Structure 1
Amino acid sequence: MAPIAKIIGQRVALGMLTLWIVSVIIFAGVQFLPGDIATEMLGQSATAETIAAFRKSLGLDLPVHLRYAYWLADVLRGDLGTALSNGRDIGELIRPRLFNTLFLALTAAIMAVPSALLGGLLSALYRNTFFDRLINVFTLSSISLPEFFIAYILIMVLSAKAGIFPSLADVDSTAGLAGRLNAVALPALTLTLAVLAHMTRMTRTSIINLLANQYIETARLKGLPEWRVLVRHALPNAWAPIVTVVVLNLAYLITGVVIVEVVFVYPGLGQLIVDSVQKRDIPVVQACSLIFAATYVLLNLTADVLSIVTNPRLMHPK
């Protein structure tokens, strides 16, 4: 356990360093946005004295490095600040939006992960057949299309023409599980199609690369069915790259939902950050960006750890 603990500690330290660098980039990027936030918030008719007082109330009269230090200290205490657009606490504003985004990502993951593993297994089992080529065409098509295009196609087919699902994913805190699932059906299906190809092709490739090994040939010589050879002998040894791709795509499901949420007007974190950019609500933009970054770093760290645990050879590099 000592080598694993050491490697996990190194990965955690690297993840914290990465997150700190990302926080610097987020803060600096927001500061370099064109225009003046005080003028945008107060309007062009505001007097110079009013603008100066407003800038002082926001701490914009302080040097950049001091503003960053105060902002980072507040974040570490769990204080994300106050929204400029409505004066609400950002933590309270983000909490229901974050829940909606996580619910959407979880729904898409439940649809995508089993489908990708099953598709990859079947594609490897019937490789070089019509079924395998059909899977390849489908995955290459889905990976080549941008999310907003897939979303509009699904809206046209399943909402406008078939009338099966609503075109707008409108949910609130009073919606039950069935109502939420019905509302997020099209956004979840869009995300599923966006990430399905990576996981399916990695599962297929990882399993096929193992089929020439001697223990696979031994299992076949024992008379085991081909599907059992794949599931019992090939799949367990192919988990390392598959798990890495699955976890990284789960990270995309959470951090890459901005476009999908905007298309379906879904009240999640992605929609909130777009609305906040339009309103020049800088504290909310910073908080949402930091949450997205922390989520991606955490899941990337999880992918590293799982790839090490599922492949002990990585613990002893030559």
Structure 2
Amino acid sequence: MLSFVVRRVVAAFGTLLLSSVLVFLAVQSLPGDVATQVLGKDATPTAVAALRDKLHLDQPAWERYLEWVKGALHGDFGTSLVNAKPVGGEVGQYLGNSALIAVVTVLFAVTGSLVLGIIAGLYRDRWPDHLISTVSLIGMSVPEFVVATVLVLLFSIAVPVLPAVVLYGPDASVGQLLPAVWLPAASLAIVMAAYIVRMARTSVIDVMAGEYVTTARLKGLSTWRVVTRHALPGALLPTLHVIALNVAWLVGGVAVVENVFNYPGIGKLMLSSVQNRDLPVIQAIALISAVVYVCCNLAADLGAMALNPKLRTRGGRTR
């Protein structure tokens, strides 16, 4: 068990290290001169040279990478090229706003999709299964910005109960942002839940056909006990990684939805930073996205180990 955890943690750190290299190289290889892009076409050669010196663009790439990683480990991602503010504080403020959407999305999407997937699996080829499967397929086929637009038409225009756009800035309080969280969260949850429902349904069908479930039924156990004590843990195993991938997808999916609703989150900051070529902010957001992805997969691996006793034997190898 300990060796299993150690291997997963080491692999996670290795992935993060590789991700940091790829993020740095990708941002640094963007076409054009950063100093000229930031200062504009009318900038003087002296101003361009001064900015290049300030950004250490004349140093070798490996030196700039090591300096960036060293600062990132201490929470220092540099200074924004647009407003001269510390990148860490600015990204943290926007990230906190996006976390509010993410918590609501994960809470409803994961809980609701697992329940619907279990119902669809238990009522295979009957009307609950057909209804849930049809709705989930529609959710998988429709992009999140289309879902967001439909929700705005329904709940902001046809029945104006929720705001269509956010009028507050990144320094807004939770109380100010809370009324505007529900539509973005619902847009993401609908798309996210569709994939989890399909996997949960398939897993439940496979598990319910297993010999140990048949044995439990022959012993006279109730359907509820068979599902909760025997089928559900086995069905959750393959679903955990789908949940992890979808939670990591939120970092990218939230960018589109936040711009639809003008929500002051990390996605909106990322798009504006790309437009303004604010490289320190882009690098910080990309690295944070990699951290979220790696942490989600690590949590899924550890959760699978907790649910599957075979992974806790012989250092994580099944017998």
TM-score, length of structure 1 as denominator length: 0.93
Q: Which runs of 4+ in 1 moved over 6 A?
A: none
* 3-state SS of paired residue (2:43): coil
Deviations 1:164-207 (A, max 9, x none): 21111345545344x43321111000110111112111111111
Choose which of 252, 259, 267 in structure 2 pairs with 1:270.
267
**Count of equivalent residues:** 314
Whole-angstrom distance in 2 between the partners of 1:136 and 1:125: 13
Equivalent residue, structure 1, for 2:318: 317
5 Å matches for 1:7-22? 7-22=4-19
How far off its partner does 1:123 sit?
0.8
Separation (CA, whole Å) in 2 of partners of 1:107 and 1:183: 12
Matched with 1:32 is 29
Counting only pairs closer than 5 Å after superposition, residues 174-253 of structure 1 correspond to structure 2 as 174-177=172-175, 179-253=176-250
Instruction: Tell which deviates more after alignment, 194-203 or 229-238.
Output: 229-238
1:26-105 equivalences in 2 (<5 Å)? 26-105=23-102
Offset at residue 231 of structure 1 (A): 2.5
Structure 1 unaligned regions, length at least 5: none
Matched, 1:106 2:103: yes
Specify the alignment match of 2:156 in structure 1. Answer: 159
Work out the CA distance in 1 between the residues paired with 2:127 and 2:243. Answer: 26
Q: What is the alpha-carbon distance in structure 2 between the residues aligned to residue 147 and residue 296 of structure 1?
A: 20
* Structure 2: distance between partners of 1:171 and 1:222: 60
Partner Cα separation in structure 2 for residue 169 and residue 204 of structure 1: 37
Who is 1:149 aligned against?
A: 146
1:301 corresponds to: 298
CA 171–202 in structure 1, closer or farther in 2 if over 3 Å, else same: farther
What are structure 2's unaligned runs of at least 5 residues?
Answer: none
1:82 shift after superposition: 0.8
- Please give the per-residue CA displacement for 1:232-270, whole angstroms capped at 9, x wherever unaligned: 321122221122322332222244311111221111111
Whole-Å Cα distance in 2 between the matches of residues 302 and 176 of structure 1? 27
C-alpha separation in 2, matches of 1:138 and 1:285? 36
C-alpha separation in 2, matches of 1:227 and 1:171: 47
1:225 is displaced (CA, Å) by 4.1
Percent identity of paired positions between Structure 1 and Structure 2: 41
Q: Cα distance 1:176–1:76, how it changes in 2: closer, same or farther (>3 A)?
A: closer
Contact 2:80 2:280 in 1 (8 A): yes
- Which has the higher mean CA deviation after the structures are superposed, 168-177 or 239-248? 168-177
Aligned partners of 1:276 and 1:282 also within 8 Å: yes
Work out whether residues 125 and 230 of structure 1, in 8 Å CA contact, stay in contact via their aligned partners in 2.
Answer: no
Deviations 1:23-81 (A, max 9, x none): 11111111111222211221211221221121111111112222112111211222111
